Amino acid sequence: MKEAEETGYAESINRRHLLSVIGGGATTALLGTGVGAAKPGHENGKSGNNGNHGNGNNGVGPCTCDGCPEGTFCGKIEGAPEEGETYTFESDGDSFSVTIESVTEKDGGEVTCFSFSTDDVVEQVCVKGGPDTKTYDDNPAEKEELCAPTNPGGQQAAISNVSFCGTGDDELECYQIDLVSGDVIKDFEKEGPYGDRKFEDFSVCEDGSNLEGLESSNDGQSVDGCELSWVGLGFDESDNTADVDVTLESASSESCTVTLAGYLLPEGETKFNPKTLEEQEYRDHETVELSEGDSTKLEISLNG
């Protein structure tokens, strides 16, 4: 059996090729223990005078960290990390990557310290050297160097393996939901805002957090000659939907058009901002024509 099958490792990716490799399906693997493991396609370390490699990769064991913080999983480099390499770890649909920016070597080419960068979330790093492990859990990516512990003789140990506790930096989606008179607006840049056509509006994030401005029920509000009442206006994070039960209480004309519409807020925003209205992305709407006394339920999906 090949070593890749035995150890379940993921090949590291040269940083300048990272995006193209990931797009084409980067080689990643999972261990039965749930540890996402990675190592380069060639051995770590430098050749000493005897021609042997200082820090070879010879199999993948359990996570070096005692336990990863909630919401993260363990990714492991067996052997010393290599400068310039990007390692990608994957587990249960989640993934994160780290790039080794620099390494420090002692005589003989053994790696003792390193620094790294990441665009994802890394909350803990555990560096094994000799019989001991040194744990970094205070913004480890911002450290100038992460080093193996000193050995019992007081000398700097060489790195034998490194474990990272991390997760992908997935942006939380947040939405704007509008209950309005008239037809939907799909492009605010071209069509402008709803203005005085709104009965009610609120913002919320996909996990139900950052709920802002919601009036879930109203006995009657008039817009454009249409008096509308509603109950149960809200968002369900379990299936990413919004709905409301509406009744047209009175109308100055034969009928009124009512719309429930949902939009994705710009990246990084958790509530409505009139300055970025044109950047909202239309997701879904439902429009009905109501006569006086009519009641109905409106429901929309905020999935992309």
Do 103 and 241 lie in one domain? The reply is no
116, 148, 167 - which closes a domain: 167
Domain extent at residue 151: 3-167
d(CA 27, CA 132): 30
Q: CA–CA separation, 176 vs 4, rounded Å?
A: 47
Q: Is the dihedral of CA 29, 24, 41, 98 positive or negative?
A: negative
Sheet holding 161-167, edge to edge: 10-11, 36-39, 73-78, 161-167, 121-129, 132-136
Total number of domains in the chain: 2
Give φ, ψ of 246 to 5 degrees.
-120, 150
pLDDT digit string (tens) for 44-58? 333 333 333 333 333
Say whether both 71 and 134 belong to one domain: yes
Q: Judge whether residue 30 has pLDDT over 70.
A: no
Same domain for 155 and 7, yes or no, is yes
Q: What is the pLDDT of residue 36?
A: 56
Q: What confidence score (pLDDT) does residue 56 get?
A: 31
- Which among 154, 81, 150, 164 has a CA at the least distance from the CA of 121? 164
159 and 13 part of one domain: yes
Q: What is the Cα–Cα distance from 82 to 100, expressed in whole angstroms?
A: 6
pLDDT value, residue 38:
58
Query: Are 46 and 146 part of one and the same domain?
Result: yes
Same-domain status, 66 and 134: yes
Look at residue 190 and give its three-state secondary structure: helix
Which residue matches tokens 């474990």?
163
> Which residues lie below 8 Å from residue 261, measured CB to CB, with a gap of 6+?
177, 178, 180, 184, 185, 282, 284, 285, 300
Cα separation, 145 vs 116, in Å, equals 8
Task: pLDDT band for 19, please (50, 70, 90 cuts).
Answer: very low
- Reported as a single tens digit per residue, the pLDDT across 96-109 is 999 999 999 998 89
The pLDDT value given to residue 114: 98
235 in the same domain as 219 = yes
Q: Are residues 159 and 184 in the same domain?
A: no
281, pLDDT greater than 50: yes
Is residue 124 within 8 Å of 65, Cβ to Cβ?
Answer: yes
pTM, to two decimals? 0.51
For the segment 200-223, the average pLDDT, to the nearest whole number, is 95
What rounded mean pLDDT belongs to the chain? 82
